[in-house]
Structure 1
Amino acid sequence: MGSKIATRVTVVNGTWLQQSAVAMPLAKQVIMSGGTKLVVTDKSSDTDISPKPTIFLPSVVEIDLHKAGTHLCVLENFFPDVIKVYWEEKYGERILESQEGDTTKTDDTYMKMSWLTVTGESMYKEHRCIIKHENNKGGVDQEILFPAINKARVNKTEACFKDKYDALRLQLTYTSAYTSAYCTYLLLLFKSVVYLAIITFCLLRRTAVCSNGKSS
């Protein structure tokens, strides 16, 4: 087996061992006595290997059918695989019961899913997903805020009503403008008819006067 120069060794329990110019096997993981696992990496310290979150909110179908909603957080492209994910209410400190999938290896990094099912009065509360990983930027835990399910739904409903109201108002404005234009057209047509009748009357009267003058 070949060897390489390790610049960093990560211990599973979070302790860092700094070594330089130490020959280590090419294997990335070394299991030592007592179950301690060392992770050897040649990744540059400039490489961003912190968890990259993607969130998914509950669907309307789930909320209507089950009277509950599931917040899902997918974490990708992080290294090493040691990670802790838990959920709390926005202003709470109690860790909530949640579910998570296995940590899966993808190429040279890892991914993990965690989700929280919210029911009852909790659907009116905001929740946060907290991610602990040694490569988080600034060494600070990531916190992802999820909106209150029922509040978000109310906002969507209000937005839908607003869109319908705007469409109705636009339709009424168009109808009003069309009616106004139609009335203006009828008024102009009426004026034209009256004007034509007056001119016709004047011409006929003038013709009659001329005829009477010639007769006398």
Structure 2
Amino acid sequence: MTIEQNQISVTHTGNGESTAYLRCIVHRKNYLHWYVQKNNGELKRILYIDDNDHSTIYDDGATHNKFVTVWESNVCSLIIKKIMDEDAGTYYCALWYYSIHTDINQQKHSLCKDGSIKKFGTGTRLLVIDQPPKKPEVTILKSSTEDVAKRGFAIYMCNLQNFFPDVIRVVWYVHDNEKEVESEQGDIEHNNSTNTYSLSSWIIVPISDLKMTFTCKYKHDTTKEGWGMKSVSGHEYNLETQKKRSNDMKCNEGLPSFNRMVYRAAQLTYVMLILKSFMYLPVLIFIMNKSKL
């Protein structure tokens, strides 16, 4: 039994004229419920749909003038009409059914020990505000070749900047097989002057995986039910060249950098003195022989 809510958030104005469509994808039709959570308060059920005749049964305080449900194949949409400020909140769809098994000996059905199975979607946040959504500006930063050679791994950082609203989900995948990669994430930062948000997420990539392509994927109001993405790889890292440079530097690491020119000059002077001594050697031998005579 699976249930999906692919919209992470939707944004509308609260003038009583707009309508929101919240979608819930289910792969098993049972009694479907819609809940709302406002201001981090308790979950409150709005309605549920009878699996027998697909009729909508409203809970207290909810009416068809505000909420309507529509089935299309395996998608149930909750339609919220005439949106006002008080409609803001996170809306969850849920499957709730009783699992039964057959007693072969007595040929009758009975409830399982847990009594029922409930499964909730991830939720869709309805924001009621006059500011329109703004797409993240995405850039990826990478470790330098020197850092990778020294540490034995690279860091890829996905920066998402100047987006609105602040509801966002970021994940990393291996590009070829859509395998999710363990990642770290910073806090969402708020820019008061523009009323936009920024976020960074990063992964650590060992040298053995540098040839692989990784994708930073994000879900936001501006991506609707899909994902935004940006990919990166380490194909340009030339660690063999960097290793050779490091070895060359190790050969000279005993000499302070500011004395290397002086050391070279001393070497040249020493060679010149040796050559000069060879030039005077015949003269010295002649003088020594003459003195003996």
CA distance in 1, matches of 2:229, 2:125: 28
RCO higher in structure (CA 8 A, sep ≥6)? 2
Count of residue pairs the alignment pairs up: 145
1:144 aligns with 2:230: yes
Contact 2:137 2:162 in 1 (8 A): yes
Contact 1:74 1:113 in 2 (8 A): yes
- Greater radius of gyration (CA): 1
1:66 aligns with 2:151: yes
Q: 1:123-142 residue pairs with structure 2 within 5 A?
A: 123-136=210-223, 139-142=225-228
Structure whose residues are more often strand by fraction: 2
Q: Select 1:84's aligned residue among 153, 158, 169.
A: 169
What SS does structure 2 have at the residue aligned with 1:5?
A: coil
Q: Give the drift of 1:50.
A: 1.3
Kindly provide the CA deviation profile for residues 119-158 of structure 1, in whole angstroms up to 9, marking residues without a partner as x.
032122121111111212x75311211022xx21239x6x
Contact 1:9 1:41 in 2 (8 A): no
C-alpha change, 1:89 and 1:24, in structure 2 (3 Å) is closer
Kindly provide the CA deviation profile for residues 147-177 of structure 1, in whole angstroms up to 9, marking residues without a partner as x.
22xx21239x6xxxxxxxxxxxxxxxxxxxx
Identity, % of aligned positions: 24
CA distance in 2, matches of 1:126, 1:94: 11
1:95 aligns with 2:183: no
Aligned counterpart, 1:39: 127
Q: Which residue identity is paired with 1:144?
A: K
What SS does structure 1 have at the residue aligned with 2:199?
A: strand
Aligned counterpart, 1:24: 85
TM-score by length of 2: 0.41
Structure 1 gaps, min length 5: 158-216
Contact 1:78 1:109 in 2 (8 A): yes
TM-score by length of 1: 0.54
Aligned counterpart, 1:181: none
CA distance in 1, matches of 2:169, 2:90: 21
C-alpha change, 1:128 and 1:5, in structure 2 (3 Å) is same
Structure 2 gaps, min length 5: 1-13, 25-76, 92-122, 242-293
Q: Which residue identity is paired with 2:127?
A: V
Kindly provide the CA deviation profile for residues 27-46 of structure 1, in whole angstroms up to 9, marking residues without a partner as x.
x97689xx9964222124xx
Q: Give the drift of 1:93.
A: 1.8
Aligned counterpart, 1:52: 137
CA distance in 2, matches of 1:81, 1:57: 25
1:153 aligns with 2:240: no
Contact 1:102 1:112 in 2 (8 A): yes
